[in-house]
């Protein structure tokens, strides 16, 4: 998929939040905003616009993805049907089926309407013991099922303070994308999420984030060449809000965001997407 558009790409990871009613309402608001026509465009949205979402420039140049808990996938799929909003799972297991109680497979996520799946989120790594090797197996299983894996990598505070950030990123990248062909890598999205910035209100500065993003793109260039590096989508995650979306988006290697807390609020999430789009349209 050389030449894949690089952005902006904004994904909302709802984590273990929202019942079905709340999920439906939030997904409808996001779908309405993502499909909203610009004031001068003649096309109209097929999605009924719920109240409470401010009008603004259309988001049609922005890839918008919602990542609800498994229990809400069907509800959210129905709520965004007919819109441009994509759907993702928060995790998957690498086997397609079998006696794996509690797990969900790539083909099951496809069946539920997903085109994306998170792999190796830091909460999976820290709370549920996922290793770099498991992350690689999951990313491969996602590709095999026709899903785009959003592979999450990032250092913990002790690694940053100890000057080991880029080394840790190299390890996670090498093991997470182990054995991947150039074509495989061109279907992957990478999310750089410094663990110390997730849910803490402490965001990496644009310069701190760009240093790591440029490093990741450089590693992809070394291993897979210029074209693949040029179309690699590299998201930033960690306390992203509308107010920091624009300055982060101005950095040349930041292609969008993986948003946690702020994605639970339609206006906040849409605001992040609009600010990313504003930076993109101004050209970096």
On whether the CB atoms of residues 266 and 18 are closer than 8 A, the answer is: no
Active site residue 213: no
Element containing residue 14 per DSSP (H, E): none
Contact residue for ligand PGA among 18, 32, 76, 258 (CB under 6 A) = 258
| CA atoms of 50 and 72, how far apart (whole Å) | 20
CB of 32 to ligand PGA, least distance (A): 22
For residues 224 and 257, which CB has a smaller minimum distance to ligand PGA in the complex?
A: 257
Site mask for ligand PGA (CB under 6 A), range 177-216, x = bound: ----------------x----xx-----------------
The verdict on 52 binding ligand PGA (CB under 6 A) reads no
Give the C-alpha separation, 53 to 267, whole Å: 6
The 3-state DSSP class for residue 93 equals strand
Residues 24 and 213: their CA atoms lie apart, in Å, by: 34
Nearest-CB residue to ligand PGA? 260
Report the Cα–Cα distance between both ends of the chain, in Å, rounded. Answer: 23
Q: Is 8 in the site for ligand PGA (CB under 6 A)?
A: no
Beta carbons within 8 Å of 86's beta carbon, 6+ residues apart: 63, 64, 65, 66, 115, 116
For ligand PGA, the closer CB: 196 or 224: 196
**In 10 A of CB 107, how many CB atoms?**
16
Give the length of the chain: 284
Shortest reach from residue 237's CB to ligand PGA, in Å: 4
Report d(CA 25, CA 65) in Å as an integer.
16
- Rule CB under 6 A: say whether 260 interacts with ligand PGA: yes
Residue 239 is a binding residue for ligand PGA (CB under 6 A): yes
Q: Which listed residue (7, 68, 194, 237) binds ligand PGA by CB under 6 A? A: 237
Among the listed residues 12, 87, 2, 38, the one whose alpha carbon sits nearest the alpha carbon of residue 240: 12
Q: Does 259 bind ligand PGA (CB under 6 A)?
A: yes
Q: Which residues of 39-74 are buried (b: 16+ CB within 10 A; e: fewer)?
A: eeeeeebebebeeebeebebbbebbbbbbbbeebbe
Work out which of 149, 242, 256, 261 binds ligand PGA, going by CB under 6 A. 261
Indicate the residue among 36 and 120 with the shorter CB distance to ligand PGA.
120
CB of 274 to ligand PGA, least distance (A): 17
| Residue selected from 177, 240, 266, 279 as contacting ligand PGA according to rule CB under 6 A | 240
Q: Which position among 36, 155, 193, 275 bears the catalytic label?
A: 193
Which residue lies nearer to ligand PGA by CB, 35 or 138? 138
Q: Does 238 bind ligand PGA (CB under 6 A)?
A: yes
Residues taking part in catalysis? 121, 193
Tell me which residues touch ligand PGA (CB under 6 A). Answer: 13, 193, 198-199, 237-240, 258-262
């Amino acid at each position: 998929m050389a030449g894949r558009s690089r952005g902006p790409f904004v994904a909302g990871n709802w984590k273990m939040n929202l019942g079905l009613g709340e999920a439906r309402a939030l997904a409808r608001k996001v779908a309405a905003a993502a499909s909203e026509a610009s004031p001068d465009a003649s096309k109209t949205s097929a999605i009924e616009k719920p109240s409470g979402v401010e009008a603004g420039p259309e988001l049609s140049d922005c890839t918008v993805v919602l990542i609800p808990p498994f229990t809400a996938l069907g509800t959210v799929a129905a709520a965004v049907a007919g819109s441009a909003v994509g759907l993702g799972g928060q995790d998957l297991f690498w086997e397609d089926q079998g006696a794996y109680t509690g797990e969900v497979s790539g083909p099951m996520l496809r069946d539920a309407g997903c085109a994306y799946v998170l792999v190796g989120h830091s909460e999976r790594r820290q709370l549920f013991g996922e290793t770099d090797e498991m992350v690689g197996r999951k990313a491969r299983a996602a590709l095999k099922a026709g899903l785009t894996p959003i592979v999450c990598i990032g250092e913990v505070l002790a690694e940053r303070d100890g000057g080991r950030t880029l080394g840790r990123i190299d390890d996670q990248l090498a093991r997470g994308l182990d054995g991947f062909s150039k074509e495989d890598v061109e279907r992957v999205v990478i999310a750089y999420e410094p663990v110390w910035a997730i849910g803490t209100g402490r965001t990496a500065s644009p310069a701190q984030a760009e240093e790591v993003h440029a490093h990741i793109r450089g590693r992809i260039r070394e291993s897979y060449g210029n074209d693949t590096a040029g179309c690699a989508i590299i998201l930033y995650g960690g306390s992203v809000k509308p107010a920091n979306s624009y300055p982060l988006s101005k950095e040349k290697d930041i292609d969008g965001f993986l948003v946690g807390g702020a994605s639970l609020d339609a206006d906040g999430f849409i605001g992040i997407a609009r600010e990313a789009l504003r930076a993109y349209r101004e050209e970096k």
